[in-house]
């Protein structure tokens, strides 16, 4: 059986944020509007990989508290993540301190529009049904669905307002895109 290189997978997933946040990152520029979904898929990927590492319960799912703790240490899901300072060449002077990354939950709420109840794909973007789903799933993974910043009624009204009663489909956003997935 081929070995599963867990640490390589963890290293790759946890390096994505730094790679796409670089000012010269092409990937970061073209996926800026997809950031919420990228965070969700990174967290679920790590959750699966860490579940194998930390032990799995009878139902196949790792214990929530242990998973959350491991995700916190890897991606800062509920707390700021200290980012290691990359090594500087000797002639560059003292190393520049890299700012810590806000918690994933704080990022999610930075994308929240309390006036509509929806979540955007990134800070400064319009709320959308798909990113609202990803944001809520992230909050569930983080155990933060009861966070006081979330107005559940407004979010439910946002989703309900996108429903097209005539055929049961949903518009993705206020501009009328019909989601065909």
Instruction: Band the pLDDT of 58: cuts 50, 70, 90.
Output: very low
| Residue that wins the pLDDT comparison between 70 and 170 | 170
Instruction: Band the pLDDT of 56: cuts 50, 70, 90.
Output: very low
For residue 93, give Cα distances in angstroms to 89, 104, 133.
8, 32, 46
Q: What is the pLDDT of residue 57?
A: 46
- The 10s digit of each residue's pLDDT in 26-52 is 888 888 888 999 999 999 998 888 874
- The 10s digit of each residue's pLDDT in 72-115 is 777 777 777 665 555 555 555 555 555 667 789 999 999 999 99
pLDDT at residue 62 is higher than 70: no
C-alpha 87: how far from its chain's center? 28
Single out the residue of 77, 160, 162, 172 nearest to residue 120, CA to CA.
Answer: 172
Provide the 10 A C-beta neighbour count for residue 128: 27
The token pair that represents 111 in the structure block: 């994308």
C-beta separation of 63 from 35 below 8 A: no
- How far is the C-alpha of 81 from the C-alpha of 40, rounded, in Å? 17
Single out the residue of 38, 41, 108 nearest to residue 77, CA to CA.
Answer: 108
- Helix and strand totals (H; E) in the chain: 7, 2
The token pair that represents 81 in the structure block: 């993540």
The pTM of this model reads 0.80
| 122 DSSP 8-state letter | S
- Write out the E strands in the chain: 112-113, 118-119
- Write out the E strands in 75-165: 112-113, 118-119
pLDDT at residue 117 is higher than 60: yes
| Residue that wins the pLDDT comparison between 63 and 172 | 172
Beta pairing partners, 170: 163
């Amino acid at each position: 059986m081929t070995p599963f290189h867990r640490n390589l997978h963890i290293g790759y997933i946890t390096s994505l944020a730094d790679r796409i946040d670089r000012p010269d990152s092409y990937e970061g520029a073209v996926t800026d509007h997809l950031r919420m979904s990228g965070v969700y898929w990174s967290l679920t990927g790590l959750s699966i990989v860490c579940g194998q590492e930390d032990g799995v319960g009878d139902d196949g799912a790792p214990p929530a508290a242990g998973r959350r703790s491991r995700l916190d240490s890897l991606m800062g899901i509920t707390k700021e993540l200290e980012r290691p300072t990359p090594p500087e060449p000797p002639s560059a002077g003292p190393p520049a301190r890299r700012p810590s990354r806000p918690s994933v939950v704080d990022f999610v709420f930075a994308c929240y529009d309390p006036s509509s109840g929806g979540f955007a794909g990134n800070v400064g973007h319009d709320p959308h049904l798909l990113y609202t789903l990803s944001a809520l799933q992230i909050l569930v993974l983080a155990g933060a669905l009861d966070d006081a910043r979330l107005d559940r009624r407004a979010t439910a009204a946002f989703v309900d307002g996108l429903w097209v009663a005539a055929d049961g489909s949903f518009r993705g956003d206020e501009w009328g895109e019909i989601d065909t997935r």
